[in-house]
Structure 1
Amino acid sequence: MKPKKIPNISVDCVVFGFDTTTKSLNVLLINRYLESKDSNDILVDDYVLTGYHVYEDETLDESASRVLKEFTGLTNQYKKQFKAFGNPDRLTNPKDLVWIKSEAFNSRTITIAYYFLINTEDIDLENNTHYAKWFPLKQLPEIGFDHKEIIKEAHEDLKVKCLSEPIVFELLPDKFTINDVQDLYESILEIKIDNRNFRRKLINKKYIVPLNEKQVGVSKKPAQLYMFSKDVYEKIYQKNYLISI
């Protein structure tokens, strides 16, 4: 039996990824395209977040995870619900109204927004049926609905969250350099960080584990590789929490 959707409640997913080559925080968007049936004129051609209606028999978290899996094929990724968007005018742009009519959507839809942190290497865009594409956060294309506002709010929440929890490592490969971590923090926080102080502080973290490996395939001197130990971090966090009591 086909799941029954709630017509005016949806989830929208901001999927963040980090490009270690361009050193940019990126967001994954899908092409929203619609032609007129009568004249083949292009009515809508822009980009939006991935999202869909919530089904009656699932939680909001389950709905967001389902949407991400359908979009990327990935499961068990870091996700955070950060805000609901319910402005009565959020879907009243002329292009949005055309799209809503073609898809028989409810124009008064409230959406629950999530963001996901993804290692870009885990996504195969070549075979993605949604015409998905990574865009640098500072170079976004024309975006439909109120999704530009949703992306902005997600980024602001990520800025705060990354300073209290080591979630940035969700955006990096399993093996990374100290420069990769610094570049990522600078990209998220939109600031410049003192290289020497940052390196010293990070290397002294017990959950940043040095590997007996260096970069390969680079033109410059290969850098030391490290990994993040979630187990060590959780033990330290638990210990510090007990001490603080």
Structure 2
Amino acid sequence: MRAKEILNVSVDCVVFGYDIKAKSLNVLLIKRYLESVAKSNVLVDDYVLTGYHVYEHETLDEASARVLKELTGLTNLYKKQFKVFGAPDRLMGKSDQIWVKSKKFSSRTFTVAYYFLLKTNDVDLKANKHKAKWFPLGELPKLGFDHKKIIEEAHEDLKAKCLSEPITFELLPLKFTMNDVQDLYQSILGVEIDNRNFRRKLISRKYIIALDEKQVGVSKKPAQLYMFSKDVYDKISNKNYLISM
């Protein structure tokens, strides 16, 4: 039996991915494309966040996990539900209305927005049926619905959250350098960070573990490697800020 959708309640997922080589915070978007019946005109051609209606039997978290898995094949990622979007005109753009009518859902749809954190190379996009593509946060394409606003608000929440909890390590490989961490914070926050001050504060955190290893395969002097210990972090009751801006 086909699951029944709630036609005016959806989830939208902002999937943030960090490209450590490009030092770029990216957003995963899917192609929204529609031609006329005769295929003589392109009616809709842009990008949107991945999302879908909530099924009657699902919780919101279950719906977001389903949507994410269908897009990326991944489960158990860091996620945060950060806001509900329900402005009366959020789906009223010309292209949006064409899309809404073609898909037969309500123009007055409320969406619960989540964001997820992962590394860009965790997702294989070669055979992705949604034609998903990574876009740097500062180079977004034309977006449908109110998804530009959703992405902007997700980014603001991520900036605040990364200063109070070490969620950024979800975006880094298991072993990393201090430069890797600094580059990531600068990419998220969009600011230059004082090198010495940042490193001093970061190294003082007990949950940042120095390894008896250094980088390999680099042309310059290899840097010390570190790892994040969630076990140590969970035992620390006083979660001080990683950075004081």
- Provide TM-score, normalisation by structure 2: 0.94
Matched, 1:81 2:70: no
Matches within 5 A, 1:98-117: 98-117=98-117
Q: Distance in 2 between matches of 1:162 and 1:69?
A: 24
Partner of 1:179: 179
Matches within 5 A, 1:33-72: 33-72=33-72
Matches within 5 A, 1:135-174: 135-174=135-174
Partner of 2:243: none
Identity of aligned residues (%): 72
Task: Give 3-state SS (helix, strand or coil) of 2:57's partner.
Answer: coil
Q: Distance in 2 between matches of 1:216 and 1:42?
A: 50
Larger deviation, residues 109-118 vs 39-48: 39-48
Partner of 1:216: 216
Matches within 5 A, 1:218-237: 218-237=218-237
Q: Distance in 2 between matches of 1:97 and 1:218?
A: 52
1:114-133: per-residue Cα shift (whole Å, max 9, x none)? 00011222111112111111
Displacement of 1:194 in angstroms is 0.6
Q: Which amino acid aligns with 2:229?
A: S
Partner of 2:193: 193
What is the count of residue pairs matched by the alignment? 239
Q: Distance in 2 between matches of 1:118 and 1:181?
A: 15
Partner of 1:12: 12
Task: Give 3-state SS (helix, strand or coil) of 1:84's partner.
Answer: strand
Q: Which amino acid aligns with 1:43?
A: L
Displacement of 1:141 in angstroms is 0.5
Q: Distance in 2 between matches of 1:42 and 1:123?
A: 29
Q: Distance in 2 between matches of 1:173 and 1:128?
A: 23
Task: Give 3-state SS (helix, strand or coil) of 1:29's partner.
Answer: strand
Task: Give 3-state SS (helix, strand or coil) of 1:40's partner.
Answer: coil
Specify every segment of 5 or more residues in structure 1 that has no aligned partner in the other structure, as ranges: none
Displacement of 1:42 in angstroms is 1.4
